[in-house]
Structure 1
Amino acid sequence: MSLRYPATSMLIALSALATSPAVWSSYAFYVGKDFTESGAVMIGGTGEEVSSHWLEIVPAEDHDSDATLSVGVTRDASIPGKLLDIPQESHTYRYLSMSYSDYVGFPAPLTNGGVNEHGVAVRDVWATNRSELIDMTQTPQRGPQYSDLARLVMERARTAREGVELIGELIEHHGYSTYGGNTHLIADDKEGWVVWEFAGSQGLWAAERLGPDEIRVLYPGYIEDFPTDYRDNPDFMGSDNLVSFAEEQGWYDGSSDFNVFEVYGRQDTEARTGGYKYMTQAELEQAVEEMAPVTERDMMARVRDPRIADDEAGYGQVISLFGDTDSDLIRAWVAPTGSVAAPFVPWWLGVQEIPQEYGQHRYLTKGAASHFLNPDFQVQEAADFAGRRFKQVMYLTCEKPDTFLPRITAMLEGFEQQSFEDLAWVETSARTLIEQDQRDAARKLLTHYSQTRAADAMTLGDTLVDWLTASLTLEGGRRAPEGALINDPGGETVNCLADADPDKPKDAQ
């Protein structure tokens, strides 16, 4: 099996990537319920950061009436800012999220999103704005940034629409801090929304509803055609000045349809064909549609695609959103690092404890090289780390992707199939216990199962590392580095896409 793709597409992709201002970004997939086998809304994606990633299930919490939380960015951000304290809600909801430790000037822990106890899921995706907006951003900027908004939606929203309205209210009341523009995909069991927040310190934002008969892939995020009378249209929302500000700046003269990307987006690229790696958003959307009716396994395959999941992918995530689901039974499939070389493990919001192997570790954590370990973390740090283990699998696999990747993929899919075969009895048993007022027992069952599969995944990772290492050693020896720089300042990312190196001939791709 050879993983090769057309030379023209590859060259265009590399050119677009080279000019992109955001090297580490995120993918988001939305699949409306008309396209899924289960009839559920489905989302998936990756987070792309040079950072440590760990799984969290954050409990619901009550807060004092005078409680506040810190939001925003620091003076170290690419557009300097100042942190701001805003009021906390009296009650915040339980949610599941992959957290990460570093984006310059954005205080940790950060999140791209996850899913909360009301079945509201959110994903964060970069979406660069036109340079004039970035240049007019006031410094120090103040207000919540992309991670703050994702977390606040999970903490406070009961529906996707509420999440959109919340973002608008937060920007209106507190401002917005950014590195140059961002989008959020917010979904529940009925619909999805793309929310685009803009740089420029003008309080600009726009939101478009995604219905049951739509598929959307964000990388970068985008919104195109937008009615100028959006306030009277239930499928669109936005700041009051969304159109008027564009007219004031001479970016829109009212003689044509209002296209949000053409007006406020980056001006040297296209909405659905720019800023990508090896597949455009349009190509990915078509690929998902061709899989319909889409299953969770299909979505895992899309998120795992080596044209998406490489060393930049900090994790993989797939979530199906059903109506009338008990909060403890809301489920997310999460791969602990790039899913091209890591298995998806099922986690429910009813899980009471994350194994230490999947918790926070010092690997890729900012400051780890200049500080000794906090004694409070000594036992957790002594545990193996899933992120590190499956990075090993990725690095070894990508040394000979044509040889190793098909085998690794087959084993990961086989592992996941074992979990799929167990879902019916696990969830039926937990649901029966809940109906019998034995919620604690149901949570113990869910916790035991997820922890067991997580432990099994670590065992699989150990086996794969041993097998790959032995294969490389016995089949010509393990390649040693030729240079002295272990940190790559911006060249080729480790990628299991065969011949992804732009310096190699493209004839066979």
Structure 2
Amino acid sequence: MSLAMRYSTATLSLLLLRTVAVKASYCFYVGKNLTVDGSVMVAGTGEEVSGHWLQLFSAQDYPPNATLSVGVTEDAALPGKRIQIPQAQHTYRYLSMEYSDFEGFPAPLTNGGLNEHGVYVRDVWAQNREELVAMTPNPQAGVNYGELARIVMERARTAREGVEIIGRLMDEYGEATYGGNTHLIADKDEGWVVWEFAGGKHLWAAERLGDNDIRVLYPGYIEDFPVNFANSSNYMGAPHLVEFAIQQGWWDPQGNRSFNIWEVYGDTNNNATARNGGYKYMSQAELEDATRAMIPLNEKKLMERHRDIRIADDQSGYGQVVSLHEGIDPDMRRLWVASTGAVAAPFVPWWLGVQSIPPEAGLHRYLYDQASSEFLNTDYQYQEASEFVFRIFKRVLYYMCSNPHEYHPIVTEMLVGFENQSFIEIEAWVERGAQVLIDNDERDSARELLTYYSHSRLYKAMEIGKTIAAALESHVKLTGHWKTPRGDLINDGGSGNATVTCLVGLNPDRPKWDQD
């Protein structure tokens, strides 16, 4: 293929990407000086048109020559080929929400999760400038965004080590990209934003977040960056990060402009800035300011921020909130998970010490890629016969947002009430009992206790979800508000303009019922 043809193909893919508007996943970071208990706190959601399920991955040992298949396929918007890279000889235990589909990115995919060392990682989209995306080879090769997140969970003992792992992978293999991506990696001491750039040039940059920082990624961003970053403990990046920008004429070292990663490598179309891109109903700046207004933060407050109707809608595939503490036993590391967007589902606590995930929270065919094209594998017949928590709370979302003036406050009150009960029980006996068992060398019993509680809370949440959905359905039908579809197009055609939400219009300060 000639260079001109390759550039043309990349440009066409770029236009496709911009038309589809690849925007997925929120992430909130709160430094430990801004939290009630001195923990680093992180929250996030995945935004994918896909099935989502919770999965626990055990620690594994691999033979010396084991390899890992990574990359994207020819079906990606920026086509690629899969390659083999060395697998680690030992991988750590971790808990993550998996999902099933992104074009050309083989399932299962992940945005990230929490590992046994208390390292938490999330990926968030971060589109790059058009010229850089157009440089992406066809076919491209490298490690895709989900694989980077998974490898960090498998191998990192600290957030800084997670950044170094991504850096080494970027330096050696590069990223198989869809146009640019970031990862937020955090532990009990700090957070890092890592931005992997498109173009096949092995470019990346990372910025440390400290004790007093609040950062919201949507999209991910890094701003001012030191030219001599190799001499700083707060920044990392590709060795040629600055040199490449100079060569391309994107930054002039003799000018008055600082080396700003967003301005040099980011998508600044429509005068978008790093913190005021105008994405969805609230910009990054507005979300950061709203979060800072709630300090000191605790998990309850971050859950409230997370389920704000101005950012939580049908695109939110799930929610997560985590506090990263000093001196926590690996089995006692806790991750709160909402099985759909938190606006319509309660957070349920899960510990790294749980022994299993119930089938009701596991993989189901609902929204799974190509599920409608084939019959069920008999190996999954029991799993598929079970109820699916994701589907239960999607029903709640669709009914609740049909009349948010009446339904949203009531549903929210019930979700928060459920979570408050969990907080009370966790403090009163669950974690206290599990820690006593661990201290007395009864770790298996501690794991059984944690497993029992997480499972029982999930089942209780499902009962509540079914009750809410049934009540809303009855009210809709008995009051004559049921609406039969007027057309035959069940999907929105990828426009993104018809997303089910409890908020309409473009004014983030006025909920839907004030605009009717």
Structure 1 window deviating more from structure 2 (313-322 vs 299-308): it is 299-308
Contact 1:133/1:199 (8 A) holds in 2 = yes
CA contact (8 A) 2:344 2:397 kept: yes
* Equivalent position of 1:372 in the other structure: 375
Q: Residue 497 of structure 1 aligns to a residue in which SS?
A: coil
1:36-88 Cα offsets, whole Å, 9 max, x none, are 11110000010000000000111101111111111100000010000011110
The equivalent of 1:386 in structure 2 is: 389
- Looking at structure 2, the residues matched to 99 and 278 of structure 1 have their Cα atoms a distance apart, in angstroms, of 26
The answer for the alignment partner of 1:213 in structure 2 is 212
Residue 492 of structure 1 deviates from its aligned partner by 1.5
1:99–1:326 CA distance, 2 compared to 1 (3 A) = same
8 A contact 1:22–1:126 mirrored in 2:
no
Classify 1:455/1:206 alpha carbon distance in 2 versus 1 (closer, same or farther; 3 Å): same
Secondary structure at the residue paired with 1:42?
strand
Tell me the SS of whatever aligns to 1:470. helix
1:369 partner SS: helix
| 2:154 matched residue in structure 1 | 155
Task: Measure the CA separation in 1 of the matches of 2:18 and 2:173.
Answer: 32
AA partner of residue 445 (structure 2) = A
What amino acid maps onto 1:194 in structure 2? V
Structure 1 counterpart of 2:498, which letter? Answer: E
Q: Which residue pairs with 1:362 in the alignment?
A: 365
Residues 1:446 and 2:445 aligned together: no
Corresponding residue SS for 1:207: strand
Aligned pairs for 1:189-268 (under 5 A) are 189-254=188-253, 255=255, 256-268=257-269
RMSD: 1.7
Structure-2 separation of matches of 1:343 and 1:215: 24
- Conservation of the 8 A alpha-carbon contact between 2:56 and 2:95: yes
**Which residue is equivalent to 1:49?**
48
Task: Give yes or no for the alignment of 1:493 onto 2:496.
Answer: no
Structure 2 partner of 1:292 = 295
Shift of 1:162: 0.3
Kept after mapping to 2: 8 A contact 1:316/1:334: yes
Within a 5 Å distance, the mapping from 1:80-229 to structure 2 comes to 80-229=79-228
Deviation at 1:459, TM superposition (A): 0.3
Match of 1:73, as an amino acid? V
Q: 2:338 aligns with which of 332, 335, 339?
A: 335
Q: Give the partner amino acid of 1:126.
A: W
- Counterpart CA distance in 1 for 2:47 and 2:278 is 14
Comparing 423-432 with 113-122, which one deviates more in the overlay?
423-432
Q: Which of 420, 441, 448 does residue 423 from structure 2 map onto?
A: 420
Instruction: Report the 3-state secondary structure (helix = DSSP H, G, I; strand = E; otherwise coil) of the residue aligned with 1:226.
Output: coil
Counterpart-to-counterpart distance in 2, 1:506 and 1:388: 26
Task: State the shift of 1:496 in Å.
Answer: 1.1
Inter-partner Cα distance in structure 1 for 2:203 and 2:69: 22
1:301 equivalent to 2:300? Answer no
1:455 equivalent to 2:453? Answer no
Quote how far apart the aligned CAs of 1:479 are.
Answer: 1.2
Q: How far apart are 1:506 and its partner, in Å?
A: 11
- Structure 2 unaligned regions, length at least 5: 1-16
Task: Judge conservation of contact 1:195–1:205 (CA < 8 Å) in 2.
Answer: yes
- In the aligned structure 2, how far is the partner of 1:230 from the partner of 1:364? 44
Could you say what secondary structure the match of 1:176 adopts?
Answer: coil
Greater relative CO, 1 or 2 (CA 8 Å, sep 6+):
1
C-alpha contact 1:29 1:44 (8 A) present in aligned 2: yes
For the residues of structure 2 that align with 1:21 and 1:216, how far apart are their CA atoms? 26
Rate the CA distance shift 1:42–1:476 in 2: closer, same or farther, 3 A: same
Sequence identity percentage? 58
The residue type equivalent to 1:266 in the other structure is D
Q: Measure the CA separation in 1 of the matches of 2:306 and 2:138.
A: 37
In structure 1, what is the equivalent of residue 398 of structure 2?
395
- Following superposition, the deviation at residue 184 of structure 1 comes to 0.2
Q: CA deviation at 1:235?
A: 0.4
Structure 1: which amino acid aligns with 2:110? T
2:95 aligned partner, one-letter code: L
CA distance in 1, matches of 2:514, 2:122: 37
**Displacement of 1:33:** 0.5
Residues in 2 aligned to 1:505 and 1:25: alpha-carbon distance in whole angstroms: 23
Classify the secondary structure of the residue corresponding to 1:86.
strand
Runs of 4+ residues over 6 Å off in structure 1:
504-507
Tell whether the 8 Å contact from 1:36 to 1:295 is kept in structure 2 after alignment: yes
Secondary structure of 1:34 counterpart: helix
Residue among 431, 436, 440 paired with 2:440: 436
1:189 is paired with a residue of what secondary structure? coil
CA distance, structure 2, for counterparts of residue 431 and residue 22 of structure 1: 47
1:76 and 2:75 aligned: yes
Aligned partners of 1:79 and 1:141 also within 8 Å:
yes
TM superposition shift of 1:477: 3.5
Contact kept, 8 Å, 1:59 with 1:95, in 2: the verdict is yes
What is the TM-score normalised by the length of structure 1?
Answer: 0.94
**Change over 3 Å in CA distance of 1:331–1:505 after alignment to 2:** closer
Is the alpha carbon distance of 1:160 and 1:186 closer, same or farther for their aligned partners in structure 2, counting shifts above 3 Å?
same
DSSP-derived class of the 1:225 partner: coil
Corresponding letter in the other structure for 1:337: T
Corresponding residue pairs, total: 491
**DSSP-derived class of the 2:262 partner:** helix
Q: Which runs of 5+ in 1 are unaligned?
A: 1-17
Say if 1:402 and 1:498, in contact at 8 Å, map to a contact too: no
The offset of 1:267, in angstroms, is 2.2
Shift of 1:19: 7.0
Q: Kindly indicate whether the alpha-carbon contact (under 8 Å) linking 2:281 and 2:506 is maintained by their aligned counterparts in 1.
A: no
